[in-house]
């Protein structure tokens, strides 16, 4: 069973605190070789194909999408369909040790995960797929309680040719320029801040063989809603 190395996580958080919080265009950190090779190979091998489970199909996130992009991006948040290795990984992302790691990395006092995996879980995009540049909406199941704060994306497609594309682009808050491009390298974990000014996407259609897909595992993290007055009667009303 997969268990994160707490000492390794703590060292990464301490060593990269300034780098993460001062990164441009917004806070982010790339961690290569995140898992032992044996574990990530197991995850990649077990990652479901489009016809193996019940996926949700999405377009590119654009306001108006050409039909050729419809349904190419697949997403599954149903834990009952996760292979055991992927279920273990997502549970570790929601563990106390990983939440403490995010707290130390960001300097934010209280961060929570989402064991419902609302909007996250497994993602898979095929040839021609793209994700237009956007800022995330709040996906917390009870949005009055918490605001989306961080995204973690773990890339699990081995032997991806750079010529096929799929770099995740981080844009400035005016959506004028791409400031950083991040290759979704195998066994790479990307952590980035996400709010209404954190624009990101991979807007250029992927050009890969039909038997290849851009596979990743995502977990989202939240902070308490700043506008919420936390007295018991209000929280009871929300719930």
Ranges of H-type helices in the chain: 6-22, 37-46, 84-93, 96-106, 232-238
What is the tens place of the pLDDT at every residue in 30-53?
A: 999 999 999 999 999 999 999 999
* Per-residue model confidence as pLDDT tens digits over 160-177: 777 887 789 999 999 999
Of 239, 182, 170, 177, the residue nearest 216 (C-alpha): 182
Q: What is the pLDDT of residue 71?
A: 53
Residue 237's pLDDT is: 46
The tens digit of pLDDT for each residue in 57-69 reads 887 665 445 555 5
**Separation in Å, CA 137 to CA 75, 90, 198:** 17, 21, 11
State the average pLDDT for the chain: 89
| Residue 4 near residue 98, CB atoms below 8 Å | yes
Residue 65 CA to chain centroid, in angstroms? 23
Contact status, residue 95 vs residue 87, Cβ threshold 8 Å: no
Percent of the chain with pLDDT over 70: 90
Closest CA to 148 of 197, 230, 61, 220: 220
**Residue 135, pLDDT above cutoff 80:** yes
Tell me the pTM.
0.91
- State the pLDDT at residue 73: 85
Tabulate helix, strand, coil % of the chain (nearest 5).
25, 25, 45
Look at residue 143 and tell me whether its pLDDT is greater than 90.
no
Cα gap 155→27, rounded to integer Å:
19
> Residue 236: which residues within 8 A CB-CB, separation 6 or more?
none
Q: What's the pLDDT score for residue 65?
A: 52
pLDDT band at 211 (very low <50, low <70, confident <90, very high): confident
Taking a C-beta distance cutoff of 8 angstroms, is the pair 206, 130 a contact?
Answer: yes
Q: What is the pLDDT of residue 236?
A: 45
Per-residue pLDDT, 98: 98
Contact 173, 131 (CB under 8 A): no
Residue 127: which pLDDT band, with cuts at 50, 70 and 90?
confident
On whether the CB atoms of residues 186 and 40 are closer than 8 A, the answer is yes
For residue 107, the tally of other CB atoms under 10 A from its CB is 11
pLDDT exceeds 60 at position 150: yes
Average pLDDT over residues 120-134: 90
- How many angstroms separate the CA atoms of 136 and 139, rounded? 8
Q: Looking at the predicted structure, is the pLDDT value of residue 27 above 90?
A: yes
232, pLDDT greater than 60: no
The per-residue pLDDT for range 56-109, each reduced to its tens digit, is: 988 766 544 555 555 578 999 999 999 999 999 999 999 999 999 999 999 999
User: Quick one: pLDDT at residue 58?
Assistant: 80
Segment holding 188, helix H or strand E: strand 188-193
Contact 123, 73 (CB under 8 A): yes
């Amino acid at each position: 069973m997969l268990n994160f190395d707490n000492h390794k996580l703590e060292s990464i958080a301490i060593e990269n605190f300034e780098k993460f919080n001062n990164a441009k265009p917004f806070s982010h950190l790339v961690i290569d070789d995140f898992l032992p090779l044996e574990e990530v190979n197991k995850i990649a091998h077990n990652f479901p194909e489009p016809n193996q489970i019940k996926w949700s199909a999405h377009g590119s996130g654009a306001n108006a999408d050409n039909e050729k992009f419809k349904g190419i991006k697949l997403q599954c948040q149903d834990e009952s369909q996760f292979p055991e290795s992927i279920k273990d990984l997502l549970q570790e992302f929601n563990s106390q040790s990983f939440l403490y790691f995010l707290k130390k990395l960001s300097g934010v006092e209280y961060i929570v995960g989402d064991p419902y995996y609302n909007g996250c879980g497994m993602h898979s995009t095929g040839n021609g797929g793209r994700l237009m540049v956007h800022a995330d909406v709040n996906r917390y199941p009870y949005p009055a309680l918490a605001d989306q704060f961080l995204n973690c994306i773990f890339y699990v497609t081995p032997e991806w040719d750079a010529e096929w594309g799929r770099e995740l682009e981080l844009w400035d808050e005016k959506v004028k320029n791409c400031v950083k491009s991040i290759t979704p390298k195998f066994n790479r974990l990307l952590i980035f801040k996400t709010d209404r000014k954190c624009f990101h996407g991979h807007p250029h259609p992927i050009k890969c063989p039909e038997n290849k897909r851009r596979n990743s595992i995502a977990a989202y993290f939240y902070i308490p809603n700043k506008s919420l007055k936390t007295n018991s009667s209000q929280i009871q009303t929300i719930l």
